[in-house]
């Protein structure tokens, strides 16, 4: 069976209502039907984006979610709130959350549990720093992050999730892992999951993120274990995001 790839755009700390109009207006009706697509705007724009995307088939989610459902947790965004705004997905454990907010892999796993509790699809982000890669610790770091999340959510919970491999050294730097480098890590992630459940390993989507562009997307998508992309800067303009979507190989 041919893989159906997912191209997801993480807007990070960027956006305005006019940007939402321009960007989503450019995407509507132009994403190839063979591609699944999702966007992750800042929280204030989720509901507006959902309304703009109505009928387009493009999904919308949050960039983070709280491990708590309610209570004295000022500034947090609960899964129930994301769902109430119309979101269907949430990022969990993006490297910027891990670095800027000191989120542990165990906390990220608990956020995934909370996301599933509210019917959201968690996108677990894993990845190594340049120092870790140069030390030869890529698989140790990435698989350790994955294992910690599984420890909280369980393999069945992971089976309801998506994994995104984002080498920290390639996020927003213009540097990109070679297709072979990316494939090697994706294969290791899938093998780790297969050790617990081969069926889940076979169906779970593992996305690549790290300066993905229209010019390098096709070669990345040609790798057997890369099931799409989590796109940062190139998702902020319709033309550059669509170039990535159109790089997905057409299969019968």
The catalytic residue positions are 94, 166
Say if CB 125 and CB 230 are below 8 A apart: yes
* Burial grade of 47 (CB within 10 A; 0-12, 13-18, 19 or more): middle
Closest of 65, 71, 148, 67 to residue 110, by C-alpha: 67
How far apart CA 22 and CA 28 sit, in angstroms, is 10
């Amino acid at each position: 069976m041919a893989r159906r790839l997912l191209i997801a755009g993480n807007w990070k700390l960027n956006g305005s209502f006019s940007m939402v109009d321009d960007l989503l207006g450019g995407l509507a009706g132009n994403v190839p039907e063979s591609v699944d697509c999702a966007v992750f705007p800042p929280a204030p724009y989720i509901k507006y984006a959902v309304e703009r995307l109505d009928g387009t088939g493009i999904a919308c989610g949050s960039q983070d979610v709280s491990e708590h459902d309610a209570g004295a947790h000022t500034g947090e965004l609960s899964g129930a709130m994301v769902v109430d705004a119309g979101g269907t997905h949430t990022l969990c454990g993006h490297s910027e959350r891990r670095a800027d907010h000191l989120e542990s892999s165990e906390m990220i796993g608990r956020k995934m549990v909370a996301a599933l509790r509210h019917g959201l699809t968690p996108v677990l982000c894993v990845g190594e720093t340049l120092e870790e890669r140069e030390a030869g610790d890529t698989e140790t770091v990435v698989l350790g992050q994955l294992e910690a999340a599984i420890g909280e959510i369980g393999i069945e919970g992971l089976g309801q999730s998506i994994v995104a491999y984002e080498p920290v050294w390639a996020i927003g730097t213009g540097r990109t892992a070679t297709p072979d480098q990316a494939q090697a890590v994706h294969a290791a992630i899938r093998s780790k999951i297969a050790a617990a459940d081969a069926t889940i390993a076979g169906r779970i989507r593992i996305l690549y993120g790290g300066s993905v562009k229209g010019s390098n997307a096709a070669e990345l998508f040609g790798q057997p274990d890369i099931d799409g992309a989590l796109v940062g800067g190139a998702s902020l303009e319709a033309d550059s995001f669509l170039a990535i979507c159109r790089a997905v190989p057409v299969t019968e």
